[in-house]
Amino acid sequence: MRRITNVYFILLLIVVVVSSCAQLVDQPSDLELLASVENAFVNIVNRSKPAIVGIFVRGSEESEPQHRVGSGFIFRKEGYILTNDHVVRDARRITVILLDDSIFEAEVVGTDVNTDVAVLKIEREKEFPVLPLADSSKVRVGQFAIAIGNPFRLDYTVTTGVVSGKGRSILHGFSLIRYQDFIQTDAWINTGSSGGPLLNIHGEVIGINALIRRLNNNNENIPAPAMAGAGFAIPINLAKSIGDQLIASGRVIRGYLGVRMQETKEGIRIRPVGEDTPAYLGGLRRNDIIFEYNGKKVQKSLELQMLVAESQVGKQSVIRVLRQGHERTLNVTIGEVPPEWTGETVDIESVAWKMLGLSVRKLRTGDFERYTYLTDEDQGVIVESVKEQAPGYNAKIPRGALIVAVNGQNVTNIQDLEAILQKQQELEQKLEQLILDIKSSHGTEKITVNLKR
């Protein structure tokens, strides 16, 4: 019986070997395999080039340098271009050049300093070619990566490599880029490549080439615009989300807790918490350890930061914490990121600022998606910032609130508000308070603002 089993085993082994040899005969040679890979890269580049643009920027008289070169790519057929904020920042004039040498004057649709993403717009009658976008959440470390850009004015320079890492954060040296979740690559990225696409082997964009990192002469890790080193790209899922918001409303509205964080084995420890922050008002306290946010386990500060940023303003988030060894569940109403984090300026000459300490802006289409308490029928102006110790601050008017009326007079835009306040200001000697109708995460309410201290 044993001998029969051995015979069967030998026969099976012979069949496997013969089959393997037969398959080897049919397999392509090493040179054919290399040629196939080479052709794949060439085809990807040729298909992608028409939608990749060179960007030439004339800066403001105060900015340096006066001339900048960058890259970008068209992601909507109407002529919307994704690039980096640092490529077009303080631009006085932006020129875009396509593969066929056609030249366009571009307008800035919107920029977001916190992610280094910007959207430009160019116009013509026929549709523009676009690059397909991948799902960057499915990017794998080790997969091929192809970078195309405009380094040193060398149009359509192509470099290849692999994805070296994911979820990278290099906040030191780039403090303005607060929301970092970079894809790391060894594909060469140089000055002028910024804003160009990082592609996969299907020709889909997985990220926007943003910056590199190298060692300086003191062996300190600092970001640099050129020289060899690791390259970093903004994941396309994040970039597209930002781009869509900029197209919809010209700005990005982000959720905000207002805490400093420290990573621990148990989760994310809360450091000092300001008393007027959404975190404190929602019950979070110093040394609480957050381990779950809206049902998702969190251990990294970057992950929690991104989850909060993507949360709707005015929505309650369920946050689970460890406090002195005991689990607690808190319902925290998410606030909006302060304007100083977004590079926004305040019109200190407006009547609203001088009289109430309020900076306001018009209501935009994207607001209805990011503020839970707004509807399509709402009219008014949004409170952008509140000056400390001013009448609006003392009346506890929250950032993000919608001002609907003042002393019974409807407000539909900034001009309405300024005109109403101007008239009231003329009566300031007799007027001691204003009644504001507002909508916020607290609901619809009337707030009395005392003008006399």
Catalytic residues: 86, 116, 194
Spatial separation of the C-alpha atoms in residues 333 and 373, rounded to whole Å: 12
Query: Which tokens hold the place of 350?
Result: 């407006």
Cis peptide before 65 (omega within 30 of 0): yes
Query: Which tokens hold the place of 125?
Result: 């009658």
Nearest-CA neighbor of 200 among 39, 43, 37, 44? 44
Spatial separation of the C-alpha atoms in residues 152 and 3, rounded to whole Å: 74
Give the chain's end-to-end CA distance (angstroms, integer). 105
- Given CA atoms 10, 16, 19, 24 in this order, what sign does their dihedral have? negative
CB 121 within 8 A of CB 109: yes
Q: How many CB atoms lie within 10 A of CB 449?
A: 22
CB 449 within 8 A of CB 434: yes
Spatial separation of the C-alpha atoms in residues 379 and 434, rounded to whole Å: 19
CB 45 within 8 A of CB 185: no
Alpha helices in 49-186 (DSSP H): 85-88
Spatial separation of the C-alpha atoms in residues 431 and 451, rounded to whole Å: 8
Spatial separation of the C-alpha atoms in residues 88 and 75, rounded to whole Å: 17
Q: What letter would DSSP give residue 312?
A: P
Q: Which amino acid is at 294?
A: N
Strands, DSSP E only, in 203-325?
A: 205-215, 221-224, 230-235, 255-256, 259-263, 268-273, 289-293, 296-297, 316-323
Alpha helices in 103-210 (DSSP H): none
Q: If DSSP codes are grouped into helix, strand and coil, which group holds residue 390?
A: coil
Rama region for 307: left / alpha / beta (φ>0; ψ in -120 to 50; rest): alpha
Nearest-CA neighbor of 287 among 275, 272, 265? 272
User: What phi, psi does 275 have (nearest 5°)?
Assistant: -70, -20
Strand order in the sheet with 91-97: 103-105, 91-97, 52-59, 67-76, 80-84, 117-121, 107-112
